[in-house]
Amino acid sequence: MSVLSQFVVPAQLMEVSFMATSSVVVDRRDFYEVLGRVQAVVTSRRLWVSLSGVRLGTSGDRLLLAGTDGETTLTTWVEAKGYLPSCVVSCAELVRCIKTSKDDTCTLSMRTHPSRLVVLVRGVEHELSFMLKVDSFSFPKRQGGGTITLDAEEFRTGLAVTSHAVAREPSRYAINGVLLESDADGVRLVATDGQRLVITELRPYETGFQGRVILPSRVARLIKRFVN
């Protein structure tokens, strides 16, 4: 994937500026789709902005989106034209702004005086408060560690097969997640609940990693849901 304070000021003393300092245009349908992915990660409870919000910001011709629940962080992107500084807004409120629109595009503008993120869809402007600096999470600067390149459909199918043997609680002989193994013999997914053992072989296009890593059950479900 917000509190607005209201002040009553005499009209003769009030001077409002709606200058847009930056803006970005994205395909509304694509934006709504990737927002849904982030919303699946962030918490619906308004504990902290960083856990219920979505971080937005452009990088080249992409608008990056990131969300976290404190344990799992998802970063995705959509093609965009323009520039938007990194900021955090309520994910749920942003989804509501663009959900009912039928427009092909939507425009996000950052304004000052007052500081608002303005979402323009179907000729209607929606104003959302935002935070420019949240230290809880940020966009990754680059990929870290080794990389394995897999066929998306084969990976999703493999996760669906092994998920049947994922244990609800970890133990000495059970894994609460899916084990990803990579070695000289290939790449495979392994899951066991202590009684059943499921192994699915994968054919990597390229691999720069050898070792084992456990994909927590929630992460495995998210990957299975979003990989297409």
CATH at residue 184:
3.10.150.10
Query: What tokens does 182 get?
Result: 């990579």
Q: Is the pTM of this model over 0.75?
A: no
Per the domain annotation, does 6 fall within a domain?
A: no
Q: CA angle 28-31-34, nearest 5°?
A: 150
Q: pLDDT tens digit string along 37-53?
A: 999 888 766 555 667 88
Helices 152-162 & 217-226 angle (0-180, nearest 10): 140
108 in the same domain as 21: yes
Domain match, 122 and 163 both: no
pLDDT of residue 18: 43
* Measured CA distances, 44 to 1, 40, 67, 72, 164 (Å): 10, 9, 12, 14, 28
Is 154 in the same domain as 122?
A: no
Mean pLDDT of 143-153: 83
Q: 112 and 156, same structural domain? A: no
pLDDT bucket at 20, cuts 50 / 70 / 90: low
* 28 and 63 share one domain: yes
User: Which comes out higher in pLDDT, residue 113 or 35?
Assistant: 35
Q: How many domains are contained in the chain?
A: 2
Q: Do 194 and 93 sit in the same domain of this protein?
A: no
Q: pLDDT-based confidence at 78, cuts 50/70/90? A: very high
114 within domain boundaries: yes
Task: Give the domain-ending residue among 128, 162, 182.
Answer: 128
pLDDT at 44: 66
- Phi/psi class of residue 13: alpha, beta or left (left: φ > 0; alpha: ψ in -120 to 50)? alpha
What pLDDT, on a 0 to 100 scale, did the predictor assign at position 132?
A: 76
85 belongs to a structural domain: yes
pLDDT at 187: 95
Is residue 119 domain-shared with residue 157, that is, in the same domain? no
Does 74 share its domain with 170? no
Position 133 in a domain = no
- Shared domain for 152 and 122, answered yes or no, is no
103 has a pLDDT exceeding 80: yes
Starting at the earlier edge strand, list the strands of the sheet with 124-128: 87-90, 53-59, 62-68, 73-82, 20-27, 105-111, 116-121, 124-128
Q: Give the pair of three-digit tokens for residue 223.
A: 């990957």
Both 169 and 105 in a single domain? no
Question: What percent of the chain is modeled with pLDDT above 70?
Answer: 82
Report yes or no on 197 lying in a domain: yes
Regarding whether 113 and 186 lie in a shared domain, the answer is: no
Within this chain, do residues 119 and 163 fall inside the same structural domain, yes or no?
no
User: pLDDT at residue 144 above 90?
Assistant: no
pLDDT of residue 134: 58
The answer as to whether 8 is a domain residue is no
- Cα–Cα distance, 56 to 78 (Å, whole number): 11
Coil/strand/helix, residue 197: strand
Query: Is pLDDT above 70 for 100?
Result: yes
> Is residue 10 in some structural domain?
no
Q: What is the pLDDT of residues 191-213, one digit of tens each?
A: 999 999 999 999 988 888 899 99
The whole domain housing 49 covers: 15-128
96 is a domain residue: yes
Residue where a domain terminates, one of 74, 98, 128: 128
> To 10 degrees, what angle do helices 91-99 and 28-39 make?
150
Q: How far is CA 162 from CA 85, 165, 170, 206, in A?
A: 41, 6, 16, 22
